[in-house]
Amino acid sequence: MEGILALEDGTILRGRGFGAVGWVAAEMCFNTSMTGYQEILTDPSYRGQVVALTCPEIGNTGINPEDEESDKPQVAGLLVRRLTRRSSHWRQRETLDIYLQRHKIPALEGVDTRALTRKLRTEGAMKGVLATNGMSAEEAIAQAKAWPGLGAKDYVAEVTCKKSYEWDPEGTDFPSRLGDEKRKMPPVRHRVAAIDCGMKRNILRLLRAEGLQPVVFPAQAKAEEILAAKVDGVFLSNGPGDPAVPTYVHQTVRDLVGKKPIFGICLGHQMLAHALGGKTFKLKFGHRGGNQPVKDLATGKVTITSQNHGYAVDADSLPKGKVEVTHLNLNDGTCEGIRLVSGEAFSVQYHPEAAPGPHDAAYFFQQFAARLDADAKRA
């Protein structure tokens, strides 16, 4: 079946539809990772977005439950250059086409995703419509223009868990995702509250791998509820949408600062910045992929990081003398990390847990665990 991608500026790209028959209006974005399409599809940070994958061939390893980062695909739609309809991998359970059909996600193949990426990089993020149901180009353009954008909706509320729970994998070992080997679970040293704004499963794995027992809370949880669980620290997760919208998370984090050590990543980094009095702004086209260079200002060390965000913290808005910038993106100079000068909280804009992506930054989980160990010794 034929399908179209219509951008708000009137651009029309045509291709062949797969996945579900239908249409969706969303923000258009891209990801430059060479592997990990299943993890990308199931990353809650992509809620409300159609993702174009620049890797030219997608679907060759199929779909398997072990590589999902949430319970279902979170993207609004998918664009690929070429779909492999006969996948081949010993772990696969179904093809990408059938998986998207089952979850009612429309997709398009035959699109020049690299040309689309160049356009978005040049002109900025755009609203668009992906349609595989015979919608006319004129109607698709009109629907794209009418879509209100990411800032008009609280996407965190859509992807957060419904109630709190303690996470622990079954059995005595689990995939580390830092390699193919299984890692024996260490004894639990600390309980950590994880505020779920759209958390990826690999975050939970890596927290547990450091001896930290995650107690997961919905994004709407109040500080009193979190502290009543007798946790030793607080983790702020990644998530979707405009970071200025979920003000209830800002308030909860504000109420927790100084009471427990805090570590945030991606949206959690932006939540911490808002809680401390900072602001965020929308990037021209975002940072999405597994090859973003980030410099640690304290050591001068550069790491290659996995990123997925369309907003950034305004470094100039942070309270002087109270909050300092710790990391910078070497591509555009934007803020990639902050810390309270007092040492009570820190965060990074990227994904130390990767999945997919490089593992250069996984040491942040060790740093968080070490901080909790130090606090326990002083107590």
User: Rounded to an integer, what distance in angstroms lies between the CA atom of residue 207 and that of residue 199?
Assistant: 12
The one catalytic residue in 266, 274, 287, 309 is 266
pTM of structure = 0.94
Q: Crossing angle for the helix pair 363-378 and 201-209, nearest 10 degrees?
A: 50
Secondary structure, 3-state, the chain: CEEEEEECCCCEEEEEEEECCCEEEEEEEEECCCCCHHHHHCCHHHCCEEEEECCCEECCCCECHHHCCCCCCCCCEEEECEECCCCCCCCCCECHHHHHHHCCCEEEECCCHHHHHHHHHHHCCEEEEEECCCCCHHHHHHHHHHCCCHHHCCHHHHHCCCCCEECCCCCCEEECCCCCCEEECCCCCEEEEEEECCCCHHHHHHHHHCCEEEEEEECCCCHHHHHHCCCCEEEECCCCCCCCCCHHHHHHHHHHCCCCCEEEECHHHHHHHHHCCCEEEEEEEEEEEEEEEEEECCCCCEEEEEEEEEEEEEHHHCCCCCEEEEEEECCCCCEEEEEECCCCEEEECCECCCCCCCCCCCHHHHHHHHHHHHHHHHC
User: Rounded to an integer, what distance in angstroms lies between the CA atom of residue 184 and that of residue 29?
Assistant: 38
Please tell me the predicted confidence (pLDDT) of residue 266.
97
Q: Which two tokens stand for residue 15?
A: 């291709």
- 2-147 matches 155-378 in fold: no
**Strand-strand pairing, 12-19 and 2-7:** antiparallel
Is there a catalytic annotation at residue 266? Answer: yes
Q: Which residue has the tokens 């809650």?
A: 44
Ordered by start, the domain boundaries in the chain are: 2-147, 155-378
The correct CATH number of 2-147 out of 3.50.30.20, 2.60.40.420, 3.30.70.1230, 1.20.840.10 is: 3.50.30.20
Tens of pLDDT along the chain (379 residues)? 899 999 999 999 999 999 999 999 999 999 999 999 999 999 999 999 999 999 999 999 999 988 899 999 999 999 999 999 889 889 899 999 999 999 999 999 999 999 999 999 999 999 999 999 999 999 999 999 999 999 999 999 999 999 999 987 654 445 444 444 556 778 899 999 999 999 999 999 999 999 999 999 999 999 999 999 999 999 999 999 999 999 999 999 999 999 999 999 999 999 999 999 999 999 999 999 999 999 999 999 999 999 999 999 999 999 999 999 999 999 999 999 999 999 999 999 999 998 888 989 999 999 999 999 999 888 7
Is there a catalytic annotation at residue 351? Answer: yes
User: Rounded to an integer, what distance in angstroms lies between the CA atom of residue 219 and that of residue 253?
Assistant: 10
Q: What are phi and psi of 258, to 5 degrees?
A: 90, -15
Amino acid making up residue 107: A
Instruction: Give the list of residues 6+ apart from residue 40 with CB closer than 8 angstroms, or none.
Output: 31, 33, 46, 51, 53, 75, 308, 356
User: Rounded to an integer, what distance in angstroms lies between the CA atom of residue 271 and that of residue 245?
Assistant: 10
**Cβ atoms within 10 A of the Cβ of 87, count?**
18
Please tell me the predicted confidence (pLDDT) of residue 282.
97
| Fold of domain 155-378 | Rossmann fold (3.40.50)
The one catalytic residue in 250, 287, 327, 351 is 351
Please tell me the predicted confidence (pLDDT) of residue 302.
97
